Amino acid sequence: MVREDLHNARNHDPAARGDLENAVVYSGLHAIWVHRLCHRMWNRGWKAPARVLAQLNRFFTGIEIHPGARIGRRFFIDHGMGIVIGETAEIGDGVMLYHGVTLGGQVLTQTKRHPTIHDNVTIGAGAKVLGPVEIGANSAIGANAVVTKSVPPNSIAVGIPAKVRERKNDEVNKLVDPDKYFDPGSYVI
């Protein structure tokens, strides 16, 4: 998975220069790597140590991911400072978040209270996606949008509150099938 994450960083960030440099300096990569460990601990019932490690992760990266959050493959955080991902959030494969994004809740009950983000979604800087809403596959959330209602697949949501429209053909993510760009045998780590 580390190799895939490094490849994914190069796919999403034109400033990414090499795997070694990216592995050392990309706080988004560090945050997701530590989250995977925290999530395993959380699922094994080691909740207190998982929360402590998650807080250390937050301290060092500026990215807060609750150990209970479920995150898929090829997740990328670009300029991650200020990201918050709540406990019951679910994130699919190929999702990209920019800095300042919140995947937060609206209620204080022990229910599904955070968003579900489906595959190949991009969420712009400062956007807030609140409550148990679903963001459909291949959608985009604009910078600083506030989303409190579900967004259908292949849509764009912008504004406060977010207004939704269908994506145009030229706005579709060019990496809909990123597996075809990833050759696991071509990387040595």
Model confidence over 168-188: pLDDT tens digits? 877 665 544 444 444 444 433
Could you tell me the CA-to-CA distances from 43 to 23, 35, 39, 177, 182 in Å, in that order? 26, 12, 6, 30, 29
Residue 176, domain member (yes or no): no
Kindly report the CATH number assigned to the domain that includes residue 70: 2.160.10.10
Model confidence over 46-93: pLDDT tens digits? 999 999 999 999 999 999 999 999 999 999 898 889 999 999 999 999
Which three-class secondary structure string do you get for 14-44?
A: CCCCCHHHHHHHCHHHHHHHHHHHHHHHHHC
Residue 155, domain member (yes or no): yes
Pairwise CA distance, residues 58 & 152, whole Å: 31
Model confidence over 133-167: pLDDT tens digits? 999 999 999 999 999 999 999 999 999 988 888 88
Total domains, the chain: 1
